[in-house]
Amino acid sequence: MSKVKLCVFSDYHYWPALYPQDQSGLDTIIERAHTADADVILECGDFAAEATKNDGFLQKFLNNKYGIKTAFCYGNHELEQVDSLELLNKAYGVDNSYFYKDMFGFRFITVDTNFWYDDDGTLYHYPGRGVGSPKGWDYDDNAFGKEQLEWISKTIDESPYPCILLGHTPVDLSDKPDHKEFLKIIKAANEKNRGRVLIYFSGDKHRNHIAVVDDVLHFNINATYNGEWRSTKHNLFPKEFTEGHAMAANCSIFKDPLSAIVTVEDDGHIKIEGMETDYMYGVAPEMYGGPFEDQYGICEPRISSGEYYLLKK
Ligand SMILES: [Fe+2]
């Protein structure tokens, strides 16, 4: 029987020019992982904007002081402030933006959701340097591309282990063709080998959302700090808190860095130990026109706990 304990978080948004969080929250998360005796620290993208910058943040995670293994994927933030994907891959020590790693009796498959189709059907990868989607594409229109989908299918099929998938954007409520294809691949793999794919971890939405689709847990991990972002500044924080951080007054910020401890067993038993915090300076979305509901719910300063038996029927 295989069992792995993960410490998961997402959307840290380390970007001092924009947001007030410093590196200390990552120390807190690493300490939680260590105390819980986690085997792997897993993060789902938007970790840092300038990941290639040599200020110790990325290394604090990748080469953490306890030697805990890591799993990660790229969000849009990773690509927005780097010169090229090659430099980013080099900083992370990977050859490609999608890859797999076998650890603790599981196959961790990282997928890359930073692709788009142009109007004429040409596939593009996020080009980097410049905030926001290229050519005005909506980030929700992201795709995998045919080549990656084939790779995902093959990588799951050839795995001798149950698979844990991770990518930046959730797919369970999406109607995008590539996302539906991704779900189809997972479903087919599980029909062939029950329990072959157990979880898909994602981030991006800054929501506390979880769903079981075709016996697979779709765990959309809440942001570490950043709550509801609005294009208009609410200006409810003290001036000294937002000074030097261009977008701090555009969002609500969680007091403590959110993470969860997730225990995964190959028989489909998954246990989530979440956590709850407050809003920094009490500034909740309700104070600037919220709550703002979208298909993944509303902003909440928590990751819910829960227990699932995916294969018990
Ligand atoms: Fe994000």
**Ligand 1 centroid from CA 186, angstroms:** 25
Q: Give the dihedral sign, CA 142/145/148/150.
A: positive
Ligand 1: centre distance to CA 12 (Å): 7
- Residue 312 — very low, low, confident or very high, per pLDDT cuts 50/70/90? confident
Total Cβ atoms within 10 A of residue 58: 23
Mean pLDDT of the chain: 95
- 286-294 contacts, C-beta under 8 A, 24 or more apart: 287/234, 287/236, 288/230, 288/232, 288/234, 288/236, 288/252, 289/230, 290/228, 291/228, 292/228, 292/230, 294/205, 294/207
What dotted CATH number matches 3-309? 3.60.21.10
Taking the centre of ligand 1 as the mean of its atom positions, its distance from the CA of residue 159, in whole angstroms, is: 30
> Ligand 1 centre from 191 Cα, in Å?
33
**Cα angle: 201, vertex 221, 162; to 5 degrees:** 20
Position 291 confidence tier, pLDDT thresholds 50, 70, 90: very high
Burial of residue 259 (number of CB atoms within 10 Å: 0-12, 13-18, 19+)? buried
pLDDT confidence bin for 129, thresholds 50/70/90: low
| CB contact burial 72-99 (16+ within 10 A = b; e otherwise) | bbbbbbbbbbbeebeebbebbeeeebbb
Under 8 Å between Cβ of 43 and 51: no
- Residues 58-117: tens digit of each pLDDT: 999 999 999 999 999 999 999 888 888 999 999 999 999 999 999 999 999 999 999 998
Query: How do the domains of the chain map onto residue ranges?
Result: 3-309
CA of 13 to the centre of ligand 1 (A): 6
Over residues 175-184, mean pLDDT: 97
CA of 224 to the centre of ligand 1 (A): 9
Cβ contacts of residue 144 below 8 Å, gap of 6+? Answer: 111, 112, 113, 115, 152, 178, 179, 181, 182
- Look at residue 51 and tell me whether its pLDDT is greater than 90: no
Residue range 188-198: average pLDDT?
A: 97
Ligand 1 is an ion; residues with CB less than 5 A from it: 11, 46
